[in-house]
Amino acid sequence: MKKWMQFLVLITSITSTSALLASGGFSEGGDKKMPTVANAKWKAECSGCHMLYHPGLLPERSWSKMMLGLDKHFGENASLDAATRDEISRFLALNSADKQDNRRSSRINQSIPTSAIPLRISETPYFISKHDEVPATTFKRKSIGSAANCVACHQAAEKGDFSESQIRIPR
């Protein structure tokens, strides 16, 4: 992006943020929390093998790529019929990190190079920088399993709340 374009984007986002603040769109400190979102098919189909990942954790291009490759989903076959898949895809796209106003989603989105399409939240630069003090051996604990199991340490992860007061690392 050209410098002057970045400047325009910055000004636009500051303006829309203050408009939201002025209208009381954010509760105090609430701008970090992702909004509550729900879709019955998403809840039913995407929580069988792991926690529900808030759509605000990845940009739309990541969700689209993932939803088109469900037959080879991290070594599992998570295929869906076309209608269900399309409904969930629309829901994820509508609420994705690049369509969100909350600060957390914007930071995740901004951390990903525009040329990259990560399928793992746990491999985004934002995630890596926020967890650089958590040793790899901690993520591998039996009580945790892997970095993908956010809810093991972030008790309110499925609600899109990753605030520090909600962190507890199991032994």
Q: Which residues make up the interface to ligand HEC (CB under 6 A)?
A: 45-46, 48-50, 53, 57, 73-74, 76, 78, 88, 104, 120-122, 127, 130-131, 133-134, 138-139, 144-150, 152-154, 162-164, 167, 169
Cβ at position 83, least distance to ligand HEC in Å: 13
Of the pair 131, 159, the CB lying nearest ligand HEC is at 131
| Shorter beta-carbon distance to ligand HEC: residue 115 or 165 | 165
- Under 8 Å between Cβ of 95 and 56: yes
Q: Smallest distance, Å, CB 113 to ligand HEC? A: 17
What number of residues does the chain have?
171
Q: Cβ of residue 16: shortest distance to ligand HEC, in angstroms? A: 22
Closer residue to ligand HEC, CB minimum distance, 19 or 128 = 128
In whole angstroms, how close is the CB of 164 to ligand HEC at the nearest point? Answer: 5
Q: Would you say 124 and 111 are in contact if contact means Cβ atoms under 8 Å apart?
A: yes
- C-beta separation of 108 from 57 below 8 A: yes
Q: What are the residues facing 73 on neighbouring strands?
A: 76
Report the nearest approach of ligand HEC to the CB of residue 15 (Å): 25
Structure tokens at 74: 């991290």
Alpha-helical segments (H) within the chain: 3-22, 40-45, 60-67, 82-94, 103-111, 125-130, 136-139, 150-153
- d(CA 58, CA 104) in angstroms, rounded, equals 11
Closer by beta carbon to ligand HEC, 11 or else 128: 128
Residue 7 corresponds to which tokens in the numbers above?
Answer: 């400047």
Instruction: Choose between 112 and 147: whose C-beta lies nearer to ligand HEC.
Output: 147
